[in-house]
Structure 1
């Protein structure tokens, strides 16, 4: 991979946890103009919950007040043993209680949230966030969250489905933020998930060799993001080495 990247903060792990035989990492670098990606991880000794939030075009001062409140409500429900759907509904209600009375254009008031609950080798997921990529050597599967955004009136009755997937020994999961997926290379082309596919299905990955895939993917997207406007956030769930 080659190209001239914009000047952005180098990626660093914001969250690093272990859940059974799985390592959970959230790695982030800030953009030159936008910082819209947020993450939290909670564990009760058996279950581990990951909450990803993208505040999109929301004003920074409003987002700074909103995001901690969303996480506070979801953590309280998680700690009392609530399931993933209850946590999702709690976050959605907290979002509306904060945003419902504010006069804001629709494009500036909605929040994308993706929630994942890891219990053993099973992961439940719900929300409206960037796709989950389930990767094994030579294969990439794109999985879509089933839920709604938060902060928009009238979505409470919209169908919300909690889905489940199982982690196998060679499985890795990745969730790339919009700042990564919508980044543009030197030719002005959107990178999308092409770099992730290149690693797992192309010749860039050498089978049998131990590599820090998270570090490699972060570096590739940094290198190929010639604008560097938005923050990069990468959630990875990989076997503990």
Structure 2
């Protein structure tokens, strides 16, 4: 794949054969970010699991200590008093039947979806709209709940959901280039700590097999994953 001069120049700052400690990797990823906007810092974690096996499907959520740097639009499907709870907590869109019909028609101007358990029979009908975007509420990641206020606040503050893809990799946002290095370190450590705790009992051999971080437009930086995991 052909790369532009800026990308090539940024890549020249990174030794692709070297595994960096977390502090070095964060500094390099930020230094190699060349776009004029405040680039997102992303992480990719290769896990030693087979997602084809249900008992090795790694998914969950974690509240990043310093948030993601994004303005997250939260939609909540609920009824009665729960609607006021969601609105008071900062939800951007709250409703039941009418809101479900709107989404069913193709409207998706939101980033996260929360639902109370009593709404899931109807929300399940939105699978074709929400599923491909990774937006379907799920009790395993805390987005199907009676305590909608708590979850809305967490999502607004920086709670992220993650799910291993078909080749065993977790992709996630961990902040912005403008974040202080220490805040990015805290966010990355929080995510990695959660992933390690979610290791499936059936996963054999080395669990965390690779970690890379990069800015939106920049080259990836390889981390010394064994050392980092051992220090968690």
TM-score range, shorter chain: under 0.3
Higher helix share: 2
Higher relative contact order (CA 8 A, sep 6+): 2
TM-score, scaled to structure 1:
0.26
Higher Rg: 2
